[in-house]
Amino acid sequence: MTTPVGGTAGEAAGDGPEEPAPKRPTATPPRYAKTPTTASVIGWTGLSALVPGAAHLRAGQRRTGFALLGAFALLLVAGLVFALVVRANVGLAVKDGILVTVIAAAAVGALAWFALIITSYIALGPNRLPQTGQVVSGIVVGVLCVSVMAPFALTASSMMTVRQTAAAIFPTVQVPGETIAPVKQEDPWNGRRRVNFLLIGGDAAGDRTGVRTDSMTVASVEVKTGNTVMFSLPRNLQYVRFPKGDPLAARFPNGFTGDSGQGLLNEVWQYAEDHLGKGRGPHELKSAIGYTLGLKVDYYAIVDMYGFAALIDAIGGLKIRVETDIKWGGHFGTAGTIKAGYQKLDGEHVLWYGRSRVDSDDFSRMSRQRCVMGALLDQATPSVVLANFGKIATATRHMFRTDIPRDLLEHLVPLALKVKDAKTTSLQFVPPTVWPGAADWVKIRRLTTQAIKDSERSARGLLAAGVTASPTTTTGAATASPSGSQNPSATPTPSGSSANPTPARTPRASTPLDTPTPNHQNKAAKTLSEACGF
């Protein structure tokens, strides 16, 4: 069978002409509510930096937009959980592992937000803008990319600074000759109710050989409450003893005399460094002071005086109540005068305020130094520290030395915050109660024990009648017992009983110069806040 010319088989069969196949619909591009403008592209790109996914949703890319929003929500939840954990345990903020994690997270966050800005900008179709709009929006988005990375870079830089500063100050290996117990996470203070820190102001000026510890204060801190008693010892305290078994105990059975024969307390550090070996100075000074007070000194921290001045400048100075005019500069105070009254002093003047000997004695200097320490504790608030963080870290790194182990730092931070909000009392051993040339060692121990008991009672609201450590308008020194008796020949023993070696010196008969913090009967330890006027 053949098909007729000009026709098809269907036509031959009588089916009529074949109909053409229908056309398939073509995909259409996403429609915008209106043609984007330069301002809208910039605005939506900027909004996406705060709300990731906003630009993609505006561009019609719903799946990507909602995915970015969900990821951002998860990130916010994770950040909130982390903040709550750190708030519950502030010490975690300085833990080395946490610092490394934050640094890494900041680096990843910077790259992620950079990519987010770029993809958000592209999703909005900047190629649809006129040439001028493309140039303007490109420049603005470039600036935005740098801007969103800045907070992450600042965070990473700050955490690196914290890590480097902690590594420079706090030892990670055992110091030769020290017997510091390892830090246990479940019990960092090894069951102690109190921990005792020896705070030292060291003066290693260029015209001196070695280090002289001109300021020595023991801060005895109750771990549970943060209540603190500060014991200040004069630098010219003579003939201190050492506990049995200490190498200097056998060498100086009747009290330390050193190389000079005077045996001042501020010579112990350098003597030990010269005669027992490098690094032995801190251990022997802790040993002597702990034995004198009847306490175990757990850790020490020494601050270079000139580094301390840099720290004061880093926080913007200190407000101090100056009791009387203080001449400063050289041996005769020819450089100027720090006027009486409330003054805001820079680092140099704070240093002179604490160290000036013009028309004053060592005991007046001790009182002023205590007020400087108290003012620093009071005024170095978290906001001040954060605002001046870089300067403080730099100053601290070059002025500070300690045997507090690095692993203890995360536990030390929350303890320091407790101390800041708790009650701090202060006790200094000065004439007429304690004569540096012939100290009554038993009395020193008795006053130390009493001050700690008063502090602990105060923490629990159980101050005994007639025994007070309440705030006064003076930062009084250690006061005599009610009977006013003294026994200069007594020497400390492990049991606190009195031995009777004959002292090499006798108390001077003259009355010492009045200190800014005169003695008052039955008020052995005073708070610093009212005493120093801050």
pLDDT for the residue 193: 92
The more confident residue out of 490 and 352 is 352
The residue to which tokens 């601290």 are assigned: 396
Q: Is the pLDDT at 219 greater than 80, yes or no?
A: yes
Predicted local distance difference test score (pLDDT) of residue 167: 86
Instruction: Name the band, by pLDDT with cuts 50, 70 and 90, for residue 181.
Output: low
Question: Quick one: pLDDT at residue 51?
Answer: 94
pLDDT band at 363 (very low <50, low <70, confident <90, very high): confident
Residue 24, pLDDT > 80, answer no
Structure tokens at 462: 């159980």
**φ and ψ at residue 338, rounded to 5 degrees:** -90, 110
- Grouping H, G, I as helix, E, B as strand and the rest as coil, residue 343 is strand
Confidence (pLDDT) at 519: 40
Residues 28-52, mean pLDDT to the nearest whole number: 81
Whole-model pTM: value is: 0.69
- Burial class, 13, CB count within 10 angstroms (exposed 0-12 / middle 13-18 / buried 19+): exposed
Banded pLDDT at 212 (limits 50, 70, 90): confident
- 86, with CB counted inside 10 A (0-12, 13-18, 19+), is middle
Least confident of 110-124, 178-192, 220-234, 506-520: 506-520
Q: What is the CB neighbour count within 10 angstroms for residue 225? A: 18
Tokens representing 30 are: 């996403």
pLDDT of residue 392: 81
Q: What is the mean pLDDT of the chain?
A: 79
Per-residue pLDDT, 385: 78
| Rounded mean pLDDT, 56-60 | 92
- Report phi then psi at 302, rounded to 5: -110, 135
What number is the average pLDDT over the span 502-524? 39
Residue 101 is classified by DSSP as: H
Q: Residues 318, 350: contact at Cβ < 8 Å?
A: yes
Predicted local distance difference test score (pLDDT) of residue 49: 93
pLDDT, position 339:
87
Rounded to an integer, what distance in angstroms lies between the CA atom of residue 524 and that of residue 511? 20
CB 506 within 8 A of CB 448: no
Enter the DSSP assignment of 402. E
Dist. CA 487–CA 434, nearest whole Å: 9
Question: Which residues face 194 on adjacent strands?
Answer: 222
Angle at 508 between CA 504 and CA 514, to 5 degrees: 135
How many CB atoms are located within 10 Å of the residue 203 CB? 16
Position 522 pLDDT exceeds 70: no
What pLDDT is stored for residue 44 in this prediction? Answer: 95
What is the bridge-based pairing of β-strands 326-328 and 336-338?
A: antiparallel
Give 242 or 309, the one with higher predicted confidence: 242
Q: What percent of the chain has pLDDT over 90?
A: 38
- The residue among 236 and 463 whose pLDDT is bigger is 236
